[in-house]
Amino acid sequence: MDRVRLLAAVLAAVVALAGCGAGERRDATERGAPPASVSAARGGAPAAQHGPWPVALPAGRGPAFRLPARGAAVAHARAVGRLRCLADRGARVHAHVELFAAGLVVPVPPGIGIAPPLRRRGAYVRGGRCSYAVRTSEPTGLLELRRGARLTLGDLFAVWGQPLGPRRLGAFRAPVRAYLDGRRWPGDPRTMPLTRRAVVVLEVGRFIPPHARYRFPPIR
C-alpha cells in the first residue's frame, strides 16, 4: 500500500516538475520575453506579469503560400455564381479570415473580389473597375462584405478562384478544420455563413489554436 502511495507521489512530482520546466522554456523563448537586443523607450513590461503572449507564427514561403488574388472570372469582371461585379460605393461591413497550413500562415492577398485595373498603394488595393459582394483591399485577412448580402465562405473562395472543400484548402490537400468565432464548424466549410464581424479560421495540418475574437477597425 505504501509503495502505491509512494509511486503515485513520485509520478505526480515528476509530471508536475516536467510541466514547470516546459513553462519556463516557453517563457524564455516563445512568450515574447525580449532578448538582450530588444529595446524600448517605455511600456515594455515583463511578459510574466501580463499573462501569456502570443507566439510568433511566420508566413509560409513558396507558391502554395502565395496565392494570386483573383481567378479568371474576376479578371474579366464576369459573374461568379449569383455574385456580380458592381461599381458600387455602398456600405460594407467587416469579417476576418485566417488561413494556416502545415503550421504556417497562408496570407490572404489584397484585391480579392476586385476586377482590374486595380488602383494599388503599397500593400493596399484602393479600387478597381468593379467589385463583388465579398472583397479584400488589404493583406490582413480583413473581408469587406456588401451590407445585406447573404454570403458564405464558399462565396469568398469562388470569387478568389481558389478551391475549398472538406479536404482541400487552396493548394493544400488534407482534412480542413474550420472555426467560426473560435468554435469548430461541423461539415463542409463552404457552407459557413460570412456575416458582420465573423472571425473565421481555416487550418490544414498542424493544429493552431484559433482566435475567437478580432478587434475590427473602423469602416472606411
Residues in contact with other proteins by the rule CB under 8 A: 1, 4-5, 7-8, 11-12, 15-16, 18-20, 22-23, 26, 30-35, 37-45, 47, 50-59, 61, 96, 98, 100, 105, 107, 122-123, 138-142, 199, 208-209, 211, 213-218
Whether a cis peptide bond, with omega within 30° of 0, leads into 210 is no
Residue 70 or 77 with smaller CB distance to other proteins: 70
According to DSSP, the residues that pair with 100 across neighbouring strands are 105, 203
Query: How many Cα atoms sit within 13 Å of 96 on the Cβ side?
Result: 14
Amino acid at the residue 211: H
In the complex, minimum distance from the CB of residue 13 to other proteins, in angstroms, rounded to a whole number:
9
Cβ closest to other proteins, residue 34 vs residue 175: 34
Q: Output Rg (C-alpha) for the chain, integer angstroms.
A: 22
For residue 27, the minimal CB distance to other proteins (Å) is 10
Nearest-approach distance from CB 140 to other proteins, in angstroms: 4
Alpha-carbon distance 129 to 85, whole Å? 9
Cβ distance to other proteins smaller for residue 48 or 174 = 48
End-to-end CA distance of the chain: 71
